[in-house]
Amino acid sequence: MYSFFGLTPTYKQELHKTILSMMYGAPGFGFHDLYNMPIWMRRFYLRELAAMKRKEAGKSGGEEKQSNVSENINKIKAIQQKFKSQKP
């Protein structure tokens, strides 16, 4: 048994998926900004990004664009749920 506390491989993978989603969905955040951001703040921005994407999907007229945005929102929600179920 290891005596050192560290992040699990699953948590690391979800962390990097979240960072990638946020960098793609909200330009202006850099990798190091998001990686070093407190967890509560990163989750806040992720929730707000998902809310903004939902609003954009509601305002867009094209079904194709709306389905792409909906897919991205679903991916963001899935990542949020995985983070909620895991403890760092």
50 neighbors 21 (Cβ within 8 angstroms)? no
**Residue partners of 82: CB distance under 8 A and separation at least 6:** 14
pLDDT tens sequence across 11-44: 889 889 989 888 888 778 889 999 999 999 999 9
> What pLDDT does 36 receive?
92
pLDDT tens sequence across 46-74: 888 888 888 887 776 555 555 677 777 77
Task: Give this prediction's pTM.
Answer: 0.57
